[in-house]
Structure 1
Amino acid sequence: MSNTSVKKQKKFEFPHGFVILFILMVLTAAVTYLVPAGQYERVTDANGRTLVVDGTYESIESNPTGLLDLFNALHTGMVDAAPIIFFIFIVGGSFGILQATNTIESAFGSLTKKLAGKEILLIPVVMLFLAVSGGTWGMAEEVIPFILIAIPLAIRMGFDSITGTAMILTGVYAGFGSAFMNPFTVGVAQGIAGLPTFSGMGVRFVFWFIFVGVTILYVMNYARKVKKNPKLSLMYEEDLKRETSIAKQQTLSKRQVAILIVLALTVIGLALGVILEGWYVTEIASLFLIMGIIVGFIAKMRMNQIAQAFVKGCEEMVMGALIVGFAYGILVILQDSNTIDTILFYVSSLVAELPTYLSAMGMYGVQSLLNFIVPSGSGQAAISMPILAPLGDLVGVSRQTAVLAFQYGDGISNILTPTAGVLMASLALAKIPWIKWVKWALPLILIQYALGAVFIMIAHLFIW
């Protein structure tokens, strides 16, 4: 038998993250030939937010995306995403210095011993902390660095990389999406809708508690299955290759204890800076860079060693950083072709035609659709709330319920949509293919959408 006749069929490969996003860019460019261009007038409010003006939509000359425009959008997206891209590089480099000290590995060894037989308890503790952070001061992009800690910790404790990633992403976004006082979503949306800031907090807290609790149980259930039978993990083969670098148990030296204290102070400083001083990616990146330098000195690393460890950490971040630019490229295509406002106009018109009892659900659907196009919470509020809040007055939906519909529509798909830069960057750092993540996360997403629908209907029919 000839060699050509016994060639093995090539094994199917999951598309690379860049491939998935570029295909989405191409599809989005094709949509610009089908959706007519249009725009609303915009004004700037007292807080400097640019808001659309309801009732001002008009058709304008079509501007579909050409071949060169498609590739231009990638570069423009990279430029627009520069603050987050370089945030990822600087934080990654700083963690490269931390990793060079082997402090995290030693801490994992010590923690594993102390939690022997009770490892599952780590999941609700971590997720609840992140959910509180997401639901109060709007933590989101800030969780990216913790993916680098959570995955080896989860694997060390007998779980898998999906469990480690889920603890971080689903924890923070369950709190963010169902927030009771998130200034970037609830605060902005209520301000635009003319409601007192954080009004209705009691109702939102009850919904938040149930929403976060269900999410934690989902992750814990998966983690238990993987610990009982590791082959049930969607990342079983990939995670086997990771274990060699974290297999040795170690104990903490005095220097490593000091380094852990610096790490803890950095996290505390991050929370205080964001809450009290309004820090964003620039200040947070600086904070982690200072941490990295201090850690290097404590570990008695030479200046060149610190620099080399920083570069190595940046190298690990290349895919995660650049993938954010791809996601932004999709938004550039929609913005340059003037199709976002058209989509908003037509879907909001459909809501106006719905029966009163379904109008709240229609708003929920509109916000859910818009989040795939405009993943920024405050950005989506600025686009949609000036239209949907007064629309609610006309169709019998209270403005509080309209804000609630915005919340859940904006928040839930943040752990699914490939246009969400934080998600795609985190998956790239975790080395988890987006398609595998979707396979794991889709049942959770459907549960969360169902919960959101129930909460909105309860609010619409019985509370507001």
Structure 2
Amino acid sequence: MKKKKTWQMPNTYIILLSIAVIMMIATWIIPAGAFERIEEAGRTEVVSGSFHFVDQQPQTPFDFFRAVPKGLVQTAEIVFFVLIGGGTFKIFEESGALNKAIQAVADKLEGREYFLIPTIIFIFSLGGGTMGLAEETLVFLPLVLRLATAVGYDRYVGLSMVSLGAAIGVYAGFMNPFSIGVAQVVAELPIYSGMGFRLIVLFVMWVVTSWYVMRYAKHHPAKENDMQISDVLDDEVKTLSLSGKLQIIVFAGGFAMIAVGVLMFEWFITELSAMFLIMGMVGGLLSGLSFSKIAVLYIEGARELLGPAVMIGLARCILVIMEDGQIIDTMIYFLTTVLKQLPSSLAAVGMFFTQVLLNPFIPSSSGLAAVSMPIMVPIADHLEVTRQTAVLAFQFGEGFLDSLVPTSGVLMAQLGMAKIDWPDWFKFVWKLIAIWMVIGIAFLLIANAINYGPY
């Protein structure tokens, strides 16, 4: 008797391509439309009330396949950043210096492991709230994953500390220039005004997220296949040699330079990739590796992260299809038309859900602010909702689903690096996302009730 086949969740690549197919079909159904746009202080902004329908631009099956390489080209910087980062970590992994240093930290944390979770979440929340950490988290993820396994946690905890930590910072966005900064400028509000309220939001989100991850960690210790670093280090080789210490100095110094470059010199992906190349080359030479061996390790490390890198391009191809089919502006127009019908007390919540729906299709924080805020501000004025509350609704909605939906290229890359399938991650995180939503709605109702301002 044949066993009945059980249904299995499709591969992540298939999920992404299926969404792209749905968007291709949507370009045949949703009317094409466009807003007029103007250049304002170096930004492209939408002209409120300028929406008009244009000739339909239905995307064909050939356009669908063409969108895949176009998506990879548009995300090439990030794709190669992931591959180069994989090569660099492979070199430090080969020497063993990084594993020994992490184990030393783990030994010092023995008995105090739980403090690690809220501390790292807090650190990344500050990065998310000030710099809008997204692709940059991929730099730190391999290190935190190793540290998590060293103290007895599984991959979900390691990924959560980085991904969810940065996410709550982006969610609160207390002084993120790329989201709250642009949105407040468009809304003609003082830059970073209302920060105190958003810091309270961040604190609540940090407490709730830390509790959620710590609760999971308590009930789900590392499984046998989550290899402990200490398992591969003999007692006699756990002490770092002079060469190993120099490698750690190069490793830590490289990250310090990356932090300085991002904060003071506006470094982005290209500069981070260059620093990783330097770190890998110098670290490899200090460990006694030949140039040929370094090259081989770079290729091996890149090969291990090829899957996550390709996912980034596949996620972008969904946006490519929607842009080429000119249906994004139409979706914005219809969503805001519905929003105008809501009573004032619910308008802020409606704005939040509008931004939540738009975010997967406009992944850029500043881009979403420039597109949506010129439309949201007049609606807020009409419904007697303060502009600051409208900005808060944008901030909560911007990036809200990035920790959940497979259209987020960064999330898919993070999952690939942590070797976690998206369906499994969804099961792990959806309850927390639901809690975030309730928190966001509660704070929006409070903001509306107190006329969160200055105006």
Tell me whether the two structures share a fold, i.e. TM-score over 0.5.
Answer: yes
2:227 corresponds to which of 240, 243, 250: 243
Structure 1 residue runs without a partner (length 5+): 231-235
Q: Structure 1 residues 246 and 9 mapped into 2: Cα distance closer, same or farther (>3 Å)?
A: farther
How far off is 1:52 after superposition? 1.2
Map 1:56-455 → 2, pairs under 5 A: 56-227=50-221, 236=223, 240-243=224-227, 247-249=231-233, 250-455=238-443
Root mean square deviation of aligned Cα: 1.6
Does 2:27 align with 1:32? yes
In the TM superposition, residue 241 of structure 1 has moved relative to its aligned partner by 3.4
Mapped contact 1:320–1:429 kept (Cα < 8 A): yes
**Structure 2 residue identity aligned to 1:150:** V
Partner Cα separation in structure 1 for residue 60 and residue 358 of structure 2: 24
**2-side partners of 1:52 and 1:95: how far apart?**
43
Is the 2:150–2:229 Cα contact (8 Å) retained in structure 1?
no
State the 1:108 CA deviation: 2.8
Secondary structure of the residue aligned to 1:51 is: strand
Describe the superposition over 1:224-273 as per-residue Cα deviations: whole angstroms up to 9, x where unpaired: 1113xx5xxxxx5xxx3342776223333232222222222222222211
Moved over 6 A (4+): none
Contact 2:155–2:226 (8 Å) recurs in 1: no
**2:49 counterpart residue number:** 55
Counterpart Cα distance in 2 of 1:41 and 1:109: 57
Contact 1:89 1:317 in 2 (8 A): yes
The worse-fitting range, judged by mean Cα deviation, of 302-311 and 138-147 is 138-147
Q: TM-score, normalised by structure 2?
A: 0.95
Structure 2 residues not aligned, in runs of 5+: none
Amino acid at match of 1:18: Y
CA contact (8 A) 2:149 2:229 kept: no
Cα distance in 2 for partners of 1:268, 1:205 equals 26
Query: In structure 1, what is the Cα distance between the partners aligned to 2:152 and 2:245?
Result: 24
Residue 176 of structure 1: CA displacement?
1.5
Give the drift of 1:14. 3.6
- AA matched with 2:232: K
Instruction: Describe how 1:449-464 pairs up with structure 2 within 5 A.
Output: 449-464=437-452
Report % sequence identity: 39
Check the 8 A contact 1:96/1:311 in 2, yes or no: no
Question: How far did 1:410 drift?
Answer: 0.7
Range with bigger deviation, 210-219 or 161-170:
210-219
Preserved contact between residue 192 and residue 385 of structure 1 (Cα < 8 Å): yes
For residues 143-171 of structure 1, the C-alpha deviation after alignment (integer angstroms, 9 at most, x for no partner) is 11322222232223221111111111001
> Aligned to 2:450, what secondary structure does the other structure show?
helix
8 Å CA contact 2:149–2:228 kept in 1: the answer is no
State the SS of the aligned residue for 2:38: strand
In 2, distance between residues paired with 1:390 and 1:307? 56
Structure 2 residue aligned with 1:43? 38
1:233 maps to none
Contact 2:58 2:325 in 1 (8 A): yes
CA contact (8 A) 1:323 1:424 kept: yes
CA distance in 1, matches of 2:105, 2:196: 37
Opposite residue 216 of structure 1, the aligned amino acid is S
